[in-house]
Structure 1
């Protein structure tokens, strides 16, 4: 019963996302929910590995920027793959 409720909820969420359009879906799912958090976490981890807990230098900004570029672009690809998978599953 619980699995059926989850599937129905996922279908309803997909319909809302589909009606909003692929661009908004990619931004929300890929960029904001995956790419942005992962980019920030990666940048902080890279800073700690390279320089310890010294966040006052330009290297920190550079590491965050590098993480955001890499992971946000990957997030858009992941969002596109998710869009295609859900479109195939629910259409």
Structure 2
């Protein structure tokens, strides 16, 4: 089995689970969670000279609230775009 056949088999397995499963796994937990962690914790940590002082700020709570919504939307959008790209990539093969 060559590399392309393995990828196709993997895509068929992913596709059999459905779009919703893919959006939850790849969209929310992969793209959305990483986006959230980077923008809510890593960037402020770097901006506060590598201290955890940013957590004590009142704006931190607002930042978390805002980025929960933004991260969910971002993750779902990227997950859907990824799904569509995989559909297009393997549409001619199946």
Per the TM alignment, residue 46 of structure 1 is displaced from its structure 2 partner at its CA by 4.5
Say which of 6, 10, 32 aligns to 2:7.
10
Please report the RMSD computed on the Cα atoms of aligned residues, expressed in angstroms. Answer: 2.4
Listed as ranges, the matches of 1:44-83 within 5 Å are 44-48=41-45, 49=47, 53-54=52-53, 55-83=55-83
Q: Distance in 2 between matches of 1:10 and 1:58?
A: 47
Question: What 5-or-longer segments of structure 1 have no aligned partner?
Answer: none
If the length of structure 1 is used for normalisation, what is the TM-score?
0.76
**For residues 70 and 24 of structure 1, what CA distance do their matches in structure 2 show?**
20
Aligned residues: 88
TM-score (norm 2): 0.74
The offset of 1:57, in angstroms, is: 4.1
**Bigger relative CO (Cα 8 Å, ≥ 6 apart):** 2
Measure how far apart 1:70 and its partner are: 1.3
Mapped pair 1:38 → 2:27: no
1:26 corresponds in structure 2 to 23
